[in-house]
């Protein structure tokens, strides 16, 4: 994985997409400059999950944008996705690496500094620092890192980092100033009336 792929990392959420197909939101966001896409689905049949992953993989392939599957190693393998993103209550990293092989991307969510130290001992491809800010789209999270915590996390981590939780046009510039490689965005793109423009706006703010 290229470290630059983390820059604007779209995380899908069908619950927030309303009537719009997730494929359309993903396509528009990628055309607006999103660099990586994570498919996150919790209440979905495995077959439907795989079908959606296959459609997104086909959609993203021509753009050279990696598709990452949240949690489900089986879905990633079945759909030929580029990797998985695992949290602390998902499959343990060593098992996921064994099943996915050395080449696929594995990202790991860390919720505190102890978990960053643990991740430093693993050959994960990146860590997701989660959450930076409190956010309504992830309700089961730990105490937010805040900007101060994020700066410390970036310094501590031997791996590339992506900031998760509360990423939007108001926070993106401050977050990037902490030295993180990128931001993982859910609602600021999925809920936007124009996901392409929302992505462009975020990227503009991030590179100011």
Contact residues: a second copy, CB under 8 A: 45-48, 50, 71-75, 77-78, 88-92, 95, 99
Task: Give the shortest CB-147-to-a second copy separation in angstroms.
Answer: 30
Task: Give the shortest CB-54-to-a second copy separation in angstroms.
Answer: 10
**Catalytic (active-site) positions:** 40, 109, 138
Cβ closest to a second copy, residue 44 vs residue 147: 44
Task: Give the shortest CB-129-to-a second copy separation in angstroms.
Answer: 20
Task: Give the shortest CB-105-to-a second copy separation in angstroms.
Answer: 16
In angstroms, rounded to a whole number, what is the distance separating the alpha carbons of residues 195 and 46? 27
H or E element, residue 106: strand 105-110
Cβ closest to a second copy, residue 96 vs residue 183: 96
The alpha carbons of the chain give a radius of gyration, in whole angstroms, of: 16
SS3 157: coil
Cβ closest to a second copy, residue 99 vs residue 173: 99
Contact partners, residue 50, CB within 8 Å, separation at least 6: 75, 78, 79
Separation in Å, CA 155 to CA 4, 90, 165, 178, 184? 18, 26, 19, 9, 19
Separation in Å, CA 28 to CA 10, 64, 144, 197? 11, 15, 30, 8
Cβ closest to a second copy, residue 78 vs residue 191: 78
Count the neighbouring beta carbons within 10 Å of the beta carbon of residue 13.
20
């Amino acid at each position: 994985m290229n470290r630059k792929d983390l820059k604007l990392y779209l995380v899908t959420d069908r619950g927030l997409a309303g009537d719009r197909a997730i494929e359309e939101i993903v396509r528009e966001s990628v055309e607006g400059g999103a660099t990586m896409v994570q498919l996150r689905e919790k209440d979905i049949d495995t077959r439907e999950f795989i079908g959606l992953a296959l459609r997104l993989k086909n959609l993203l392939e021509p753009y050279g944008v990696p598709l990452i599957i949240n949690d489900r190693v089986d879905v990633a393998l079945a759909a030929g996705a580029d990797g998985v993103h695992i949290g602390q209550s998902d499959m343990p990293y060593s098992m996921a690496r064994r099943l996915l092989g050395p080449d696929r991307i594995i990202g790991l969510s860390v919720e505190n500094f102890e978990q960053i130290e643990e991740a430093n001992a693993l050959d994960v491809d990146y860590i997701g620092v989660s959450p930076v800010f409190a956010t309504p789209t992830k309700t089961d999270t730990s105490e937010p890192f805040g900007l101060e915590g994020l700066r410390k996390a970036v310094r501590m981590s031997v791996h590339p980092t992506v900031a998760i939780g509360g990423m939007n046009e108001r926070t993106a510039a401050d977050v990037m100033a902490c030295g993180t490689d990128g931001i993982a965005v859910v609602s600021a793109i999925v809920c936007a009336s124009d996901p392409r423009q929302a992505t462009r706006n975020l990227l503009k703010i991030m590179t100011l």
